[in-house]
Amino acid sequence: MALVAMAGLPNAASAQPQVDPAATSEQITVRPLLAARIRSEHVEQGKLEADALTLRVRGGAEARKGRISILIEGEATLAPVHDYSAFPFPAPGNRQWRPAQAIVPDPENAELNRLQIEYRTNARTLTLGRQRIDLDDQRWVGSVGWRQNEQTFDAVRGTAAIGPASIDLAYATSQRTIFGTDAGPRSALAGDFLLAGVAAKRGPVEGKLFAYLIEYDEASALANSSQTYGGFLSADVPVGGKTSLGLRASYARQSDYGSNPLSYAANYWSLDASTRMADFDLGVGVETLGSDNGRAVQTPLATLHKFNGWADMFLTTPPGGLRDVHIAFGRKFPEVKAIGGLNVGIIVHRYSSSGGTARYGHEFDAMIGGRLKKVSALIKYASYHARSFGANTRKLWLQLEFSL
């Protein structure tokens, strides 16, 4: 989603170095992995409040010999200030579930985040094990990089480039959720997840067709079993000087699948337009998650915080569906040499049901971020004003992040 990218949402952990194994010697090389993030989050939601100070550390190593690499990474989250409920679902007897406080879904946790073996050439990759999967803009499948505990998958994934086209095929048996090892059956959701895509690029135009077949085993998640078929077209076209125009259109059709006890078939579509003029960005867009038979389009594998407002009011799409009309403004400040990548972003959302008959509310989001060498800083704010859905919500984040 161009508007979200423009606003500078951080996800440094998802950045992967480009390696050309053909140019690599047969000598074993080891690359250390280290990232740390400390964040303060304050929430006011209706009559509930929360304050959290969390520290997340990831560490590990990647060993490579020729075309083959092995990666292992652990993840731990501590909460020196824990005045919040870590789970948005009932967890009786769990000290991190506090229904009298607002939710901050960053539980204290220590776990194996990734353990994978990969074979890579210039045109093909094959990855087996617990891994991060970020597809396209992460609207359907992502690693939820905003939360402290990352979402990963126990999967096998292969990619291949064939001329201007590329194929991406993954099969996963477990979704390792952001709720960590203390969340009981919600720690990892077993099932059969088939993620397939074929993409092509010609000049400034890129397109993709995809099929996502999601079947859960756990009774609590059966209603999210679905089959989604769709695609998108996008283009980033220079229009003269330092000005460019970005366009993106996406459509998908989702219906029940596998053991889902519900029967529905609903449409998803989005349109986005953005322009970049020197150091200024402006974007407008509309996204609609349709509804049928009282069941709306859901995206349970997605990086949901990137979409439909930072207040996270629509992590689960309401039964009447969702229409999100949004306008975004961004500004970079390359003239400020002391702070690298200094930028600000503002996004305004207006929410309604997918048919537009029920007005849910509106939201104002703002951020400012930058970095000093290997340390990035972020201040982010979200304010949701409820009309017929949810409660008035305000959230404020202060964050520092370091990564090798």
Q: Within the chain, what is the greatest distance between any pair of CA atoms?
A: 64
The burial of 372, by beta-carbon neighbours within 10 Å (0-12 exposed, 13-18 middle, 19 or more buried), is given as exposed
Which architecture does CATH list for 2-403?
Beta Barrel (2.40)
Distance CA 275, CA 301 (A): 29
**C-beta separation of 227 from 257 below 8 A:** yes
Query: What is the rounded average pLDDT for all residues in the chain?
Result: 93
Structure tokens at 356: 């537009």
**pLDDT over 50 (residue 15):** no
DSSP H or E segment with residue 5? helix 2-6
Domain boundaries, the chain: 2-403
Reported as a pLDDT band with limits 50, 70 and 90, residue 338 is confident
Distance CA 68, CA 230 (A): 33
pLDDT at 223: 96
pLDDT at 20: 52
**pTM for this model (two decimals):** 0.92
- DSSP letter for each residue of 74-110: EEEEEEEEEESB--SS--TT-TT--TTS-B-----EE
Reported as a pLDDT band with limits 50, 70 and 90, residue 241 is confident
